[in-house]
Amino acid sequence: QKEVEQDPGPLSVPEGAIVSLNCTYSNSAFQYFMWYRQYSRKGPELLMYTYSSGNKEDGRFTAQVDKSSKYISLFIRDSQPSDSATYLCAIGTGTASKLTFGTGTRLQVTL
State the nearest-atom distance from the C-beta of 18 to another protein, in Å. Answer: 25
Q: Give the E-state strand segments of 2-104 in sequence order.
A: 4-6, 11-14, 19-25, 32-38, 45-50, 54-58, 61-66, 71-76, 85-92, 99-101
Kind of pairing between the strands at 11-14 and 61-66? unpaired
42 binds another protein (CB under 8 A): yes
27 binds another protein (CB under 8 A): no
61 binds another protein (CB under 8 A): no
Going from the C-alpha of 5 to that of each of 70, 78, 91, 99, 110, the distances in angstroms are 11, 26, 11, 14, 26
43 binds another protein (CB under 8 A): yes
Among 21, 34, 85, 109, binds another protein (CB under 8 A): 34
Residue 89: φ, ψ to 5°: -85, 150
23 binds another protein (CB under 8 A): no
Binding-site size, another protein (CB under 8 A)? 25
State the nearest-atom distance from the C-beta of 89 to another protein, in Å. Answer: 10
Which residues contribute to the site for another protein (CB under 8 A)? 6, 8, 32, 34, 36, 41-46, 49, 88, 90, 92, 94-99, 101-104
